[in-house]
Amino acid sequence: KEIDTRGLNCPLPILKAKKALSEMASGQLLKVVATDGGSVRDFKAFAQQTGNELVDQSTEGSDFIHVLRRR
């Protein structure tokens, strides 16, 4: 599953990711595309707090890509 949170600032990308993860089965991957530079730090903290695995983080142009695995 993929969600586009471009143009949204903290905490909206996290909230949208949380909602999407709640609708997914364990082990499924969620790709979040964000433009908020703070989202890199935010998703690391979010993964630690929720027990979901942060599989990958990368930057493509002005986009920050976060991939989470549902716990």
Question: Is there a contact between 24 and 53 (Cβ–Cβ < 8 Å)?
Answer: no
pTM: 0.96
Q: Is 5 a catalytic residue?
A: no
The pLDDT assigned to 49 comes to: 97
Q: Which is the catalytic residue, given 3, 4, 8, 10?
A: 10
Give the three-state DSSP class for 15: helix
pLDDT band at 60, cuts 50/70/90?
very high
Strand-pair partners of 56? 67
What whole-number distance in Å separates Cα of residue 37 and Cα of residue 34? 8
Question: Is there a contact between 33 and 1 (Cβ–Cβ < 8 Å)?
Answer: no
pLDDT band at 51, cuts 50/70/90?
very high
pLDDT band at 19, cuts 50/70/90?
very high
